[in-house]
Amino acid sequence: MYLNRRFYIVLVLIILLTGAGYAFIPFFAIGQWGLLVLCLVVLADGYMLYRTRGIKAFRRCAARFSNGDENPVDIRVESSYPYLVAVEVIDEIPFVFQRRNVRFGLQLLPGEGKTVSYRLCPTRRGVYSFGRIRVFATTRIGLLSRRYTCGSPLDIKVYPSYLMLHRYELLAINDNLTELGIKRIRKVGHHTEFEQIKEYVKGDDYRTVNWKASARRHELMVNVYRDERSQPIYNVIDKGRVMQQAFHGMTLLDYAINASLVLSYMAMRKEDKAGLITFDEHFDTFVPASRQPGQMQALLEHLYAQQTSFGETDFSSLCICLNKRVNKRSLLILYTNFSGMGSMNRQLPYLRQLNRQHRLLVVFFEDTDLKAYIEEPAKDTEGYYRHVIAEKFIFEKRLIVSTLKQHGIYSLLTTPGNLSVNVINKYLEMKSRHLL
């Protein structure tokens, strides 16, 4: 039981009336009667609230949350009181969100139920714990409130952005991937691609006849197709300290995980095989490239628990383990980050080794904060020096791209927010140019 503000207001008025009775005696009697009435009304209000357990509430949400996306949460509140009650609903959301404003005020008619909704956007993967649902019920009298503790504690796992997968899937079905910025998409289900036109010989499939070319040459001409080869695609994710940098509440590792998940899905739709490799000081996770039906779930489960470390990344162990485990030439999409030319030059011998054995695509990130800082005009001498230093860092990023190109290594410099779309575009470009 809780005493409401209305109770204290009435009590203060009664005290003032009783105190005024020392100067005006009739006020003392009024105060006494007022106190008696207050006690009776409090008893009546308590009886109305506690005569029955009149409130039920339960939480409805997905069995797992998607990292970096808006995840809906619904709370259903039902009243079995035979009269109107006002309720305040407070949900104990996971403490990691640092929010204390998830509360809703409702009025419920006799036997009425209402649903309130809100959204949560997690920025890191892991297990998020919900507490109980607290409901405070008040009658029309409004002197007392009864607290109901409803629902039960709930643990929700936050996975990489699988909601993005569903969005890509729906658009891919309708060939509307250009809405997300993806430049090229070939029809799913075509397992051959055009190679050349030749003269018809006995035994050629009549369905491949090119009627336009036949009309020009006055003889039957047919299209020649070749089977698309299924290529192994490995997302290689650096988990070192360079991937701890945050952008809009999410680390670069989280962006790389989301992008690798989406790219794996797209690669499998393009008849390629998708695999996963993670490493830091040591070679960590290895999922062989495959197109089996359960491959996406396997990738999701392995990506769920990945965390960055504070150590320096060991590219040499990556090269050694890849030589042992990946025998077929594959496309390696390496997600990492370089602070400058010095850090890139230290890893360049290993990158060249990987590129000799496989087709390597290095994905690293632009510093959006630096770009925003440069766009602001400098106000003093120190500001000019800071601008020069910032421009030097940005120039070195472009220089890294040029250096990798000189050594025959493909690269992609992108902002974290555009990572998924840019990686898919690069993959489709390389596939169309037969660079895999």
Tell me: the pLDDT tens digits for 289-316?
A: 998 888 988 888 888 878 887 778 889 9
Q: Which carries the bigger pLDDT value, residue 1 or residue 324?
A: 324
pLDDT at 176: 46
What pLDDT, on the 0 to 100 scale, is given for residue 229?
Answer: 64
Average pLDDT of the chain?
85
175 confidence band (pLDDT: 50, 70, 90): very low
The stretch 90-98 carries a mean pLDDT of 86
Average pLDDT for residues 355-384, to the nearest whole number?
A: 84
Q: Is the pLDDT of residue 172 over 50?
A: no
Q: According to the model, what pLDDT value does residue 430 have?
A: 87
pLDDT tens figures, 318-341: 999 999 999 889 999 999 998 888
Write down the architecture of domain 162-186+229-432 according to CATH: 3-Layer(aba) Sandwich (3.40)
27, with CB counted inside 10 A (0-12, 13-18, 19+), is middle
Band of residue 168 on the pLDDT scale cut at 50, 70, 90: low
Residue-wise pLDDT tens digits, 244-259: 888 877 889 988 998 8
Percent of the chain with pLDDT over 70: 91
> What is residue 335's predicted lDDT score, i.e. its pLDDT?
95
Please report the pLDDT score of residue 171 as a whole number.
Answer: 44
Give percent of the chain with pLDDT exceeding 90: 37
Name the residue with higher pLDDT: 404 or 387: 404
pLDDT value of residue 194: 63
Position 387 pLDDT exceeds 60: yes
Please tell me the predicted confidence (pLDDT) of residue 226.
Answer: 61
Q: Which CATH number does the domain 55-159 belong to among 1.10.3730.10, 2.60.40.10, 3.40.640.10, 1.20.1440.130?
A: 2.60.40.10
What per-residue confidence (pLDDT) applies to 184?
A: 46
Q: Looking at residue 185, what is its pLDDT? A: 42
Higher-scoring residue by pLDDT: 99, 264: 264
Q: Which of 188, 251, 249, 180 has its CA nearest to residue 420?
A: 180
pLDDT tens figures, 31-75: 889 899 999 999 999 999 998 888 999 999 988 888 888 899 999
Task: Report pLDDT for 355.
Answer: 93
Q: Say if residue 277's pLDDT is above 90.
A: yes
pLDDT at 270: 82
- 199-254 tens-digit pLDDT: 888 878 878 899 888 988 888 898 887 655 678 999 999 998 888 888 877 889 98
What global pTM score does this model have?
0.67
pLDDT confidence bin for 193, thresholds 50/70/90: low
